[in-house]
Amino acid sequence: MIRWLLTTFVALSILSACWPWLRKLGIGRLPGDFTLRLFGREYPFPFMSTLILSMLLSFIARLL
């Protein structure tokens, strides 16, 4: 359980750091991705994008 939580946290951190570049590719605009705007700042929560990227990376890892 803790391993999955840590993996999700790391994936969210990486996606948040790369947010401007990923947004140009369409990541973060899927249903299930939320953007919270508070006090003039945006806080992205790309839940669905994280899930899809995790499945894609898992599939690639299994092939290797």
Q: Is 45 helix (H, G, I), strand (E, B) or coil?
A: strand
Predicted local distance difference test score (pLDDT) of residue 62: 93
Q: Phi first, then psi: what are they for 39, rounded to 5°?
A: 55, 40
Altogether, the residues listed in the chain come to a count of: 64
pTM for the model: 0.59
Per-residue model confidence as pLDDT tens digits over 19-64: 788 788 877 788 888 888 999 988 878 788 888 888 998 999 999 8
Per-residue model confidence as pLDDT tens digits over 1-25: 788 889 888 887 887 788 788 788 8
- Token readout for 21 is 């570049």
Angle between helices 47-63 and 2-17 (to 10 degrees): 110
Predicted local distance difference test score (pLDDT) of residue 33: 87
Predicted local distance difference test score (pLDDT) of residue 44: 79
